[in-house]
Amino acid sequence: MCGIAGFMSVDPAGTPTEAIVAMLEAMQATMIHRGPDGAGHKVGPGVGLGFRRLAIRDLDGGQQPMVSGDGQVWSVMNGELYNYAELRRRLEAAGIRLQGHCDAEVIPHLYQELGLDEMLRLLRGMFALAIYDARTDTLHVARDPFGIKPLYVAEATAGFFFASEAHALAAAGVSTQVDPVSLWHYLTFQYVPGPRTMWAGIRQVEPGTCLSWRRGAGEVSRYARLTFTPEADWTPERSAAAVRVALQDSVAAHLVSDVPVGAYLSGGIDSSAVVALMKQHQEVNTFSIGFDGATPERDELPRARRTAAALGSRHHEQYVTARDYADHWEDIVLAQGDPVADPSAPALYFLASEARRHVKVVLSGEGSDELFCGYAIYQEPVSLEAFDRIPPGLARQLHRLASRLPDGLRGKSLLQRGTTPLPQRFVGNAHIFRDAEKAAWIADGALAELPPPSWSLTAPIYEETDHLPGPTRMQAVDLNFWLPGDILQKADKMSMAHSLEQRVPYLDPVVWEVARQIPVSLQLAQGSFKRVLRDAVADLLPDEITHQPKLGFPVPLRQWLASDLKPLAQDLVASSTDTLLNRARVQSLLAGPRPFPADDRKLWTILTYLMWHRVFVEQTARGQSRHSVMERAAALSSR
- Return mean pLDDT, the chain: 92
80: left (phi over 0), alpha (psi -120 to 50) or beta: beta
pLDDT (tens digit per residue) in 249-270: 999 999 999 999 999 999 889 9
The β-bridge partners of 210 are 142, 221
- State how far the Cα of 151 lies from the Cα of 142, in Å rounded to an integer: 8
Helices and strands in the chain, H and E counts: 30, 17
308: left (phi over 0), alpha (psi -120 to 50) or beta: alpha
Q: Give the global pTM.
A: 0.94
Q: Please report, rounded to a whole number, the percentage of residues in the chain having pLDDT higher than 90.
A: 74
- State how far the Cα of 605 lies from the Cα of 600, in Å rounded to an integer: 9
**Beta strand pairing call for 314-320 and 285-291:** parallel
Fold for 2-222, please state it. Glutamine Phosphoribosylpyrophosphate, subunit 1, domain 1 (3.60.20)
210 belongs to the catalytic site: no
- E strands, 56-208, are 66-67, 73-81, 125-133, 138-143, 152-155, 159-163, 203-204
pLDDT, greater one: 222 or 300 = 222
Q: Where are the domains of the chain?
A: 2-222, 236-335+343-372+476-553, 376-440+451-475, 558-637
- The domain 236-335+343-372+476-553 is placed in CATH, from the list 2.60.40.420, 3.40.50.620, 3.40.630.30, 3.30.70.330, at 3.40.50.620
Q: What is the mean pLDDT of residues 91-117?
A: 93
pLDDT at 622 (0 to 100): 67
Checking if the pLDDT of 297 tops 80, the result is no
- State how far the Cα of 518 lies from the Cα of 230, in Å rounded to an integer: 5
Tell me, what amino acid is at 149? K
pLDDT at 441 (0 to 100): 96
Tell me, what amino acid is at 141? V
pLDDT at 638 (0 to 100): 43
- State how far the Cα of 62 lies from the Cα of 50, in Å rounded to an integer: 14
Q: Which of 2, 102, 210, 373 is catalytic?
A: 2
pLDDT (tens digit per residue) in 353-378: 999 999 999 999 999 999 999 999 99
pLDDT at 385 (0 to 100): 82
